[in-house]
Structure 1
Amino acid sequence: MKRLSGIKKYKLYLWLVPVFFLLNVLGAVVQGKGGFPARAVNEAWLVCYLSAANYRLFEHSLPALSWKRFFRSFLVLLLYIFIYSLGFYCWRELGVTLHIFTVLNHTATIPDKIGALTGYSISSVVIFGVIRHIVNYIKLKQSAQQLRIESQQAELNYLKSQTNPHFLFNTLNNIYSLARDKSDLAPESILRLSKILRYMLYETSSPYTAIEQDLKIIDDYIALEKLRYDDTLRINFNHDLEDRKQGLPPLLLIPLVENAFKHGVSETRDQPFVDIRLEVKNRILLFTVKNSTGEPAAGNAVKENIGLSNLRRQLQLLYTDYSLEVQPGDFIFIASLRINLASHV
C-alpha cells in the first residue's frame, strides 16, 4: 500500500515539473529575453534541483512537522531556508563548473544571484504548493463521492435483502394456505412462484431492468393472490407505457401491490377490490394503487410497514424528483407514486 501511495505521488510531479518548466520558459519568451536555447537548458538545470527539493519538502518534511518536536521542526525549516538560498546557488555554480549552466548576466554580484535564486525558489514552492493542494482537494472530493456511491449501493442492497425475503415470505404463505386446504390450484401457484423466484435470482442483481419485466412479475403476483379469493374479489390492472423497455429498478413497484393485498383486501369482508394503474409518458412514471380496507378513515391511521418504508428510502437513494403519497379514506386506501425517471442519481 505504501508503495502504491508513493507511485501516485510521483505521478503528480511527473506532470507538475514539466508544467513549471514550461511556465518559466514561456515567461522568458514573453519578456523578450535573448539566448533562448541556453536559457532553456539553464531552466531545466534549476528545475531539477527545485523539483527534488519541493518533493522532499511537501511529501516528507512538512507532514512530519509537529509542535511536540518543536526543536527538530525548527532545524528542518532552517535546513530548507539554506536549501532554497545558498544551496540553490551552489547548485547553479555546479552547473557552471560542469558547463551545463550558461552565465547570461556577467555583471550580477553574488548577493544579487543568491537573492534572485531565492525568489525563484520561493515562487516554485508557492506554485507547487497551490497546484498540489488543488489536485489533492479534487482527489479528496472524488474519493468522497465514490465512498458515498458505494455507501448508497450497500444500503440499497440491504433494503433489497429485506424487501425480497419479505415479499417471498408473503407469497409462500399464500401457497401454504392453498396446500393446507388441499386445493387443486396449489400446483399452478407453485409454477407462478417459480417464475417469481427465477426473476428474483437472475434479474434483480442489475441496477435497472426493463419495466415490462416488472409487469410480468406483478401479473404473476396478482394471479397468486387471486387464487386465495373467490369471485367477489375485483382486480383491475391497467397500464399505458410509452416505452416498455424503459429502465426501472427491479421490484420497485411490487411493495405497493403487495401492501394492497396484505393490509387491504385481506381485511375487507364486503366487495374487496384492487385497482392498479401504471402510466409512463415522457419519462414520467405514475403508479396508483387503490384498494378496499376493513375500516373507515377515522380508524385507518397510516402506519407504514417494512415494504412502504423501504420503498420510500430506495426512492430517496435512486431519484431526486419523485413523490410517494398514501391517502386513507372510508374503506379505501390509495397509494400514489410519481417518478421522474430522468432524475435518477
Structure 2
Amino acid sequence: MAIAFNKKRWILYLSIGAAYLLFLLFIDLIRHPETFLKRIVNNTWLVIYLVVMNYILFEYTIPFIRMRWTRMLATPFLLFAHLMLASFGFHAWRHIAIALGFYFSLRTYPSLEKAVEYLVPYSFLSMLFFGVIKFTYDFRQLKAATQQLRIEKQEAELNFLKSQTNPHFLFNTLNNIYSLARDKSDLAPESIVRLSKILRYMLYEAGGEYIAIEQELKIISDYIALEQLRYDDSLLVNFNYNIEDMKQSLPPLLLIPLVENAFKHGVSETRNRPFVDIHCSVNNQQLQFIVKNSTEAFPSEGSVKENIGLSNLRRQLELLYKDFNLSVQQGESVFTAALQINLKSHV
C-alpha cells in the first residue's frame, strides 16, 4: 500500500486535533484552574502527537486490515499494539518536551508502567474522539458524493431523453414538409420558414433548464400553424390558454410531445372531421394541459399503448417533478391526454 501525503486529510485531522485540545482544556479549566496556563502548553504538545498517531491509525492501519480478509484475524492484535504504541510513545513524547525545557512536569510517576497505565485511557479516548468525528465526516462526504452522482445520472438521462425527443419531433416535421414538396404545394416555402423558426427556438432558446411559459406557447402555436399547412379547412384546431403569469418558468419543449402526438397519431389517421382541441392553464403554479384529438381507433380492454413520445415525456416528468399526473384515454372517436403538474414540486 503506497503512502502518499494528502493535504486535505491532514487538515481534517488537524481540525479534529484542535477540537480535542479545546475539549481537554475545558476539562482542565474546571478541574485544575490554578495550573491552567501550564496545562495549555502541555496539552498542545501532547495533542500534536495524538494527531499523528490517529492519522496513522485511521488512514493506514485500519485500511491495511481491510485489504484482505486474512488480515482481519490480526485486527485485535494490531489495534492493541497501536494503543500500546500510542501510550508508550505518549510518555516518550512527554519526556522529550521535558528534556527540551518547554513542558511543565505537573505529575510524577513511580514507574514507567504506572505512567503508561495512566496514559492509556487518554490514548483510547483520543482514538474514540478522532474516530467518531472522522467517520461522521467521511459519511457526510460519501452521502454528498452519492447525491451528486444521482443528480448527474438524472441529468444525463434527462438529456438523453431530450436527444431522443427532439430528433423524433424534427423527423415528423420534415416528413410533413416532404409531403408538401412532393405535391408541389405552394405552401412548401412557408412551411420551411416556419420550420426554421422552430429550429431557431430549439437551438438558441431551449438549451437552458427553464424558459418562460409564453415561449413554450409560442412554439406550440408555430407547430400548429406548420401542421395546418398540410390540411384544408376540414381540420378544426382550437388552442386556448388561461395563464396567470406568462413568465412562469417551465422546462423547454415539455408540452410539445402531447401536441405532436395529437397530429401524428390522431388527425393524420382521421378521415372524417379531424380536430384538435388544446387547453392550457396555469394558476397558483398548478399547470393543466389537456389535448383532445379525433381518432378512428376504438377503446380496448387493455391500457393504451404509449408511443416513444409519450413514454419519454412520462420519464422526463418523473425526473423533473415530484407531483404530477399524466393520463391518456382512448375513447370511441376521441383520444384525450391530460397533464397536471405542481410546478412548485420541481426536483
Deviation readout 1:210-247 (Å, 9 max, x if unpaired): 11111111011000110011101110000111111111
Deviation at 1:26, TM superposition (A): 1.1
Deviation readout 1:35-83 (Å, 9 max, x if unpaired): 1111011100110011001101111121012443479867744541332
Residue identity matched to 1:293? T
Deviation readout 1:174-196 (Å, 9 max, x if unpaired): 11111111111111111110011
| 2:162 aligned partner | 160
CA distance in 2, matches of 1:53, 1:256: 64
| 2:342 aligned partner | 340
| Residue 93 (1) aligns with residue 104 (2) | no
| Residue 10 (1) aligns with residue 10 (2) | yes
Deviation at 1:296, TM superposition (A): 3.0
| Residue 82 (1) aligns with residue 84 (2) | yes
Query: Which 4+ runs in 1 deviate beyond 6 A?
Result: 2-5, 70-75
Gaps of 5+ in 1: none
Any conservation in 1 of the 2:267–2:295 contact (CA below 8 Å)? Answer: yes
| Residue 52 (1) aligns with residue 40 (2) | no
CA distance in 1, matches of 2:239, 2:73: 79
Any conservation in 2 of the 1:233–1:273 contact (CA below 8 Å)? Answer: yes
| 2:38 aligned partner | 38
SS of the counterpart of 1:240? strand
| 2:64 aligned partner | 64
Counterpart mapping for 1:1-345 below 5 A: 6-65=6-65, 66-69=68-71, 76-77=78-79, 79-106=81-108, 110-298=112-300, 302-345=304-347
What TM-score, normalized by structure 2, do the two folds share?
0.94
Pair 1:186–1:4, CA change in 2 (3 A): farther
Pair 1:201–1:109, CA change in 2 (3 A): same
Any conservation in 2 of the 1:236–1:274 contact (CA below 8 Å)? Answer: yes
Pair 1:71–1:188, CA change in 2 (3 A): closer
Any conservation in 2 of the 1:88–1:118 contact (CA below 8 Å)? Answer: no
Any conservation in 2 of the 1:324–1:337 contact (CA below 8 Å)? Answer: yes
Residue identity matched to 1:6? N
Q: Quick check: 101-110 or 51-60, which moved more?
A: 101-110
SS of the counterpart of 2:6? helix
CA distance in 2, matches of 1:171, 1:142: 43
Deviation at 1:299, TM superposition (A): 8.7
Deviation readout 1:144-176 (Å, 9 max, x if unpaired): 000000000000010001000000000001111
Pair 1:74–1:299, CA change in 2 (3 A): closer
SS of the counterpart of 1:291? strand
SS of the counterpart of 1:101? coil
Q: Quick check: 68-77 or 213-222, which moved more?
A: 68-77
Q: Quick check: 171-180 or 300-309, which moved more?
A: 300-309
Residue identity matched to 1:176? Y
